[in-house]
Amino acid sequence: MHFFQYKDNELYCEQVPVSDIARDVGTPFFLYSEATLTRHFQAFDSGFAGMPHLTCFAVKSCSNLAILNLFGRMGGGADIVSGGELFRALNAGIPADSIIYSGVGKTEKEIREALEAGILMFNIESPQELDRVQRVALELDAVAPIGFRVNPDVDPKTHSYISTGLAKNKFGIPVEDALQEYRRARDMKGVVIRGVSCHIGSQLTRIDPFVEALRKLKDFITRLEAEGIRVSYLDLGGGVGITYDNEQPPHPHDYAMAIKDELGDLDCTLILEPGRVIVGNAGILVTEVQYTKVNTGGSEDKHFVIVDAAMNDLTRPSLYGAYHDITPVRKTGAAEETVDIVGPICETGDFMARDRKLPKVEQGDLLAIMSSGAYGFTMASNYNSRTRAAEVLVRGDRYFVIRSREDYQDLVKGETIPEVG
């Protein structure tokens, strides 16, 4: 349930007509609804009410300071995967001791920064990383709180690029090897064992892979306990999937129930790292039609709608073949036609949708690319030297530009031409 709705054939975000914002801010821009963000965070978090838990929002899905700050004020922590995300989370006011650090490639510098900040836990993904974390901790005269990300070898049944919990994926440590790493960590001075984690993939539309992974983790915790190693945090990774088209993902409450049932009386604080389920349907990308054209000469005429958003703004359709619903900001009642909605970038792979039925649009019309709140702006680039879009947040009948559109100076920031000779 989100707060992007039509009134008199005009798309509104909460109480603000989307076209008013486009007029003031220009296009393309990402538009988020604060009421939707709040509702989704609470819907997820409240499912775990009554159990000790911490919802650490996955910063990679949507990292604007205003949005991180909103979740922080609701008691959320952060799941980070880089020094940059640590910087964002801290700047947004998220307490360091609610920050979890995941990822297979943490550098020394990043580890140092996280240790100095005092984060809750590093999720360690390899034996070499354990050695590095312990070395940096000793150098700083600190003790690093750690858990290991175990790879439970569970098929999450999602797109192969975002499936992470299979033995063949680069993530985590196989359960078999993890025991040995916990033993090693127990005997180290620079680290203290806090937890165990896993993350099997993103955009999951079924509950059973989560339950299967949890079952394997529970068995593993029992084996740890048999060795006298106690963990107090159990991190289950990302959240459930969302509806882009006609997927029917589990409701977050059903997910929470299934986890509760499987957990039984395990005495651990749960950590959840949802991203998409909270922000995905709380944001849209608004774009303006620049041209329409028909290419004839093939076996059939091809209708193109060329918009001012491109694969550098929203890369999901190009990268994963992902589906995003696209709808006119003003409904005109025009007859539908089948079109490719494409951007200005010089690649055939630059499309928002292909062979899509859309009411006939004209130059200057606005389109809303739905479900763009997660992995939208955060995956944007400057390809084709395009400035990155603005981000706007609506609160009731007001809106705030929470990130201004980049300008040309931003494009060349840090570049220099060496003197000739």
Q: Which is nearer to ligand LLP, 200 or 367 (CB)?
A: 200
What amino acid is encoded at 11 in this protein? L
Nearest distance from C-beta of residue 48 to ligand LLP, angstroms? 14
Nearest distance from C-beta of residue 158 to ligand LLP, angstroms? 9
Q: Given the DSSP bridges, would you call strands 4-7 and 10-13 parallel, antiparallel or unpaired?
A: antiparallel
| Structure token digits, residue 157 | 């049944």
Nearest distance from C-beta of residue 228 to ligand LLP, angstroms? 28
Pairwise CA distance, residues 70 & 93, whole Å: 9
Residue nearest to ligand LLP (CB): 238
Nearest distance from C-beta of residue 287 to ligand LLP, angstroms? 18
Nearest in space to 121 (alpha carbons), one of 142, 139, 96, 138: 96
SS3 category, 91: helix
Active site residue 346: yes
**Is there a contact between 31 and 37 (Cβ–Cβ < 8 Å)?**
no
Q: Which is nearer to ligand LLP, 88 or 276 (CB)?
A: 276
Element (H, E) at 149: strand 144-151
Binding stretches for ligand LLP (CB under 6 A)? 58, 61, 79, 102, 162, 199, 202-203, 237-239, 273-277, 316, 320, 374-375
| Structure token digits, residue 52 | 């000790």
Q: Which is nearer to ligand LLP, 124 or 366 (CB)?
A: 124
Pairwise CA distance, residues 219 & 212, whole Å: 11
Nearest distance from C-beta of residue 34 to ligand LLP, angstroms? 19
Q: Which is nearer to ligand LLP, 149 or 395 (CB)?
A: 149
| DSSP letter for each residue of 155-171 | ---S-GGGB--STTSSS
SS3 category, 229: coil
Radius of gyration of the chain from its Cα atoms, rounded to whole angstroms: 23
- As a dihedral over the C-alpha atoms of residue 65, residue 70, residue 72, residue 77, rounded to 10 degrees, the angle is -80
Nearest distance from C-beta of residue 416 to ligand LLP, angstroms? 33
**Position of tokens 């127990």?**
186
Q: Which is nearer to ligand LLP, 204 or 342 (CB)?
A: 204
Q: What are phi and psi of 30, to 5 degrees?
A: -90, 135
Q: Which is nearer to ligand LLP, 202 or 329 (CB)?
A: 202
**Is there a contact between 149 and 199 (Cβ–Cβ < 8 Å)?**
yes
Q: Which is nearer to ligand LLP, 40 or 386 (CB)?
A: 40
Pairwise CA distance, residues 6 & 13, whole Å: 9
Catalytic residue among 13, 56, 62, 346: 346
Task: Give one word for 381, left, alpha or beta, with left for phi > 0 and alpha for psi -120 to 50.
Answer: beta
Q: Which is nearer to ligand LLP, 27 or 61 (CB)?
A: 61
Tell me how many degrees the CA angle 289-294-298 measures, rounded to the nearest 5: 140
Pairwise CA distance, residues 119 & 115, whole Å: 6
**Is there a contact between 155 and 163 (Cβ–Cβ < 8 Å)?**
yes
Nearest distance from C-beta of residue 316 to ligand LLP, angstroms? 5
Pairwise CA distance, residues 88 & 207, whole Å: 31
Which residues touch 93 (CB under 8 Å, ≥6 apart)? 68, 69, 72, 73
Nearest distance from C-beta of residue 216 to ligand LLP, angstroms? 17
- What positions carry a catalytic annotation? 346
